[in-house]
Structure 1
C-alpha cells in the first residue's frame, strides 16, 4: 500500500486519478482549493476501496503552502507518490495580459508543482525513502493557442522542471515524470470551455476526445514499479493529436497522376 498525494483532486482529472489509485488499495491525501468538492472525491475514493483518505483544503499559491500541505499529508504517513494535477486555464488575449494574470497561472501550474516536489524530496531523502512524482502537463506545452500564452508557458516550464528535477533527484531514488493529456472532457467549473472550443481542439486520429480515466491509467502506471527505470519523461496521452496536423486537408497531387502516369 502506498500513500498518494493528489492536488487538484476536487474534480476532473485529479479526481479520477485519486479514484484510480484507490482501486489499487492505496491511501490518499487529497488537496484542492475548496473543501466541498474534496469531500465528494473522498467519498468516491472510499467507495473505490482506498485504504484511507484525508483531505486538505489549500491555496497552493501561498508562500508556505507547499510545506504546509506536505506536512499535513506526512502527518498521516510518508508520501510515496505525488501527483500535481491542480491547474488553471484562463483565456486571456495576449494584448490584455497583465502581471496579475500571468503570475496567477504560473504560480498554480508551475511554481506549486515544483515546490511540492522539493518539499517531498527533502522529507523522503531525510527518511531514506524512495518516491515518485507525476506532474500533469498539457499538449499546450508544445503548441500555443490564442488566449493561452500563460497556460502554454506554464506547462512548457513544468516539463522543463520535470526533467531538471529528475536529473537531480534520481540519485536519491526519486523519479519525476509528467503526463501530458490532450483535450479531455472534464466538465470543470474552474476551467470551463465552450463546445465550439471543444470541437476545434477535441478531434484526434483515434476518433474521440479524451476521458479523465485515460489520463488516470497513465498516471498510475508511470508512478508505479512497472515504470521504475523511467524518469524525466513526458508521456503524451492525447489520442495521437501531437503526432502532427492530422486534420488538415491533403493539398498535393499523387505522384504520376498529374503527368498521366497513373
Structure 2
C-alpha cells in the first residue's frame, strides 16, 4: 500500500486527487490551510473504508513544508508519493503588486513545493528509498493574462524547479514531474473565478472545460508504475488549449464563391502578400 501525501486537499483538484488515490487503495495524509475544510472529505473516505490522516498547514510559513513531511512520515510511515497541489491564484496587476503580495504568492506556489520536495528527498535518502513527486502547475506557466502575471511567474518557476529536482534526484530513485491543468472550474471561495473569465477562457479543441477528476487521473498515472521511466516532464492536461488560439478567425477568410474546404496553399494569388505575421 502506497502512502500518499497531498497538500491542498480540502477541495477542487486537491480533493479529487485524494479521492483518486483512495480508489487505488493508497494510505493518505491530507493537508489544507484550514484543517476543518478537510472534514467532508475525511467523512466520505471513512464511509468508503479509506480512513486518512488530516493536517492543518499554512504553507506560507517557511518551516511548514518540512514539518508536514516529518509528521506524515512519523504518523503513517514512509511517504511514497508527494503531491504538491496547494496553490493560490489572486488577480494582481504587475504594475500594482506589492512586495508582501508577491512574496506570499511565491511562498505558497513555489517555495512550499520546493521545500516539501527537498524534505521528502532527504527522508527518502535516509531510509534508502525512492519515491515520486508530482507538482501541480498551470497553463499560465506558458502564457499570462491581465492580472495574472505574478501567478504565471510562480508557475513558470515551478516548472523549472520540477525539472531541476528531477535532474538531481533521479540518481536517488526519486521521480519529479508536474501536471499542468487547463481551465478547470472549481467552487472556491479562496480563489474565485468570474463568469466572464470562465466564458472567455473555456474554449479548447475538445470543446469543454476540464474537471478535477481529469487532473486527478493524470496525477495518479504519472505517479504510478506505468510512468516509471518518466521524470522531469510537464504533462499538459488542458483539452488541447495549449495547442494554439482556437477562438481566432482564419487569417484568410474563405470566399463563398470558391471551395470552402480550400487550404491556405490554394488561397488566391496575393492572399499571402500581407505585412506582418499571424499570431
- Shorter-chain TM-score range: over 0.9
Matched, 1:237 2:237: yes
Alignment of 1:94-173 (within 5 A): 94-173=94-173
* Equivalence for 1:63: 62
Q: CA deviation at 1:255?
A: 4.4
Q: CA deviation at 1:2?
A: 0.4
Q: 226-235 or 67-76: which moved more?
A: 67-76
Aligned partner of 2:16 in structure 1 is 16
Larger deviation: 91-100 or 21-30? 91-100
Partner SS state of residue 74, structure 1: helix
Q: In the TM superposition, what is the alpha-carbon distance from 1:93 to its structure 2 partner? A: 1.7
Helix, strand or coil for the counterpart of 1:9?
Answer: coil
Corresponding residue SS for 2:70: helix
**Normalising to structure 1: TM-score of the pair?**
0.96
Spell out, residue by residue over 1:158-191, the C-alpha distance to the aligned partner (whole angstroms, 9 max, x if none).
0000000000000000000000000001111111
Deviation at 1:63, TM superposition (A): 2.3
The aligned counterpart of 1:2 is 2
Q: TM-score normalized by structure 2?
A: 0.90
Query: Partner of 1:29: helix, strand, or coil?
Result: strand
Asked if the contact 1:25–1:49 (Cα under 8 Å) also holds between the matched residues in 2, the reply is no
Task: Show structure 1 runs of 5+ residues with no match.
Answer: none
Q: What does the per-residue CA deviation read over 1:29-64, in whole Å, with 9 as the maximum and x for residues that have no partner?
A: 0011002111222223334443x3100001012121
Please give the alpha-carbon distance, in whole angstroms, between the structure 1 residues aligned to 2:27 and 2:203: 36
Q: Where does structure 1 differ by over 6 angstroms across 4 or more consecutive aligned residues? A: none
Q: For residue 96 of structure 1, give the secondary structure of its aligned residue in structure 2.
A: coil
8 Å CA contact 1:144–1:152 kept in 2: the answer is yes
Q: Extract unaligned runs of 5+ from structure 2.
A: 254-263, 270-279
Give per-residue Cα distances to partners, 1:48-100, cap 9 Å, x unaligned.
443x3100001012121112111110012110000000000000122211101
Give 1:202 deviation, angstroms. Answer: 1.4
Aligned residues: 259
Match of 2:87 in 1: 87
Larger Rg: 2
Q: Which residue does the alignment assign to 1:192?
A: 192
